[in-house]
Amino acid sequence: MKHRTGLRILPATVALIASMSSVAAGLSACTIDKDNFADPPRTSQVATTMPENTAASASATPTDARRAAPNPTSPTAATDARQDGTNGDHGALAGRTIYLDPGHAGTPPPQSLQVTDGRGGTKTCNTAGTSSDAGFPEHEFNWMMAQEIQQLLTQRGATVLLSRGDDTGRADCIDARAEKENSSDADAVVSLHADGAGQGNRGFHVSAIADPLPHNDAAGSTALAESLRDALAAAGFVPSNYLGSEGLNPRADLTGLNLSTRPKALIEYGNMRDSADIVLLSSPDGRRRLAEATVAGIEAFLAR
Ligand SMILES: [Zn+2]
């Protein structure tokens, strides 16, 4: 079943049902540019019940993070490559196919390379993404998250497809990634990102399609986003205090969501320019726990 409109998207659980005013406020963020935070910080119901989760591995640095082994597979090969799980039956993930899209690319394309935005306009092939104040690039964080999540998913019997096979090249543009996701047999597609906002803006948020187009799987996108949000919150991670509502931030301005025909959601794991969030995002233990929560969210979506 498809939603008539993205404005009908609501949290999945009674505990998270927001007031009509807060829902409207959250949806208003759908069209806000990343660099233009018009919404005032708001306290999330989830956030007030969840412990802070950034203390672990405080000694970890971006330099530590960069020691993760690179994937030697070429982008082309990895796009088509499958890593089939071999550990037998592991619940809802066994035998399922998950498409992971680590956002951006190791080498940003020129601004002049434009592609469709999925709604009649154009966008850059891939934006450069953000980075921490210390120079830890978002594309590298996204790549590390993809590796962690891929490992966990394959251990649970899932097949994992990746939108890019390394963190060095230009990789596919955002429209080509969506086309490959659509032509795969993926049961869920998850784009992996981190945000770049001002100090004090912190926490994760998950985006489903807003104002869906006829070809979108709006119900699937929303259910996947809610499952991911629920799992991240249950693991103790703090929902965004600056975008969306209760960790959800549906968007109509993302090519990857606009072109998608599959259940697809995009995670912003935190703000790389916030001093608390970057400790979590730079920590191998933090990334591992974020990956575990992501896998739990995907599994809950598939088991629904
Ligand atoms: Zn990003």
268 is catalytic: yes
Distance, CA of 300 to CA of 121 (rounded, Å): 35
Distance 287 CA to ligand 1 centre (A): 16
Output the pLDDT for position 55: 36
What is the pTM (predicted TM-score) of this model? Answer: 0.74
Distance 141 CA to ligand 1 centre (A): 10
Output the pLDDT for position 196: 98
Catalytic residue among 179, 268, 292, 299: 268
Output the pLDDT for position 96: 98
Residues 6+ apart with CB under 8 A from 262: 99, 181, 182, 186, 188, 189, 217, 220
Distance 301 CA to ligand 1 centre (A): 23
Output the pLDDT for position 238: 96
Q: Is the dihedral of CA 236, 198, 132, 71 positive or negative?
A: positive
- Output the CA angle 253-77-67, nearest 5 degrees: 80
Provide block-wise average pLDDT over 10 residues at a time, the chain (304 residues).
39 38 33 33 36 37 37 38 47 97 95 95 95 98 98 98 96 97 98 98 98 98 98 98 98 98 98 98 98 98 97
Output the pLDDT for position 146: 98
Distance 193 CA to ligand 1 centre (A): 4
Output the pLDDT for position 111: 87
Distance, CA of 220 to CA of 43 (rounded, Å): 27
Which of these, 125, 169, 162, lies nearest to 147 by C-alpha position? 162
Output the pLDDT for position 152: 98
Distance 198 CA to ligand 1 centre (A): 15
Distance, CA of 149 to CA of 259 (rounded, Å): 24
Integer CA distances (angstroms), 3 to 149, 180, 189, 205, 220, in order: 29, 24, 19, 21, 10
C-beta separation of 56 from 283 below 8 A? yes
DSSP string, 233-301: HHTTPPBPSSSSBTTB--BSS-HHHHT--S-EEEEEEEETTSHHHHHHHH-HHHHHHHHHHHHHHHHHH
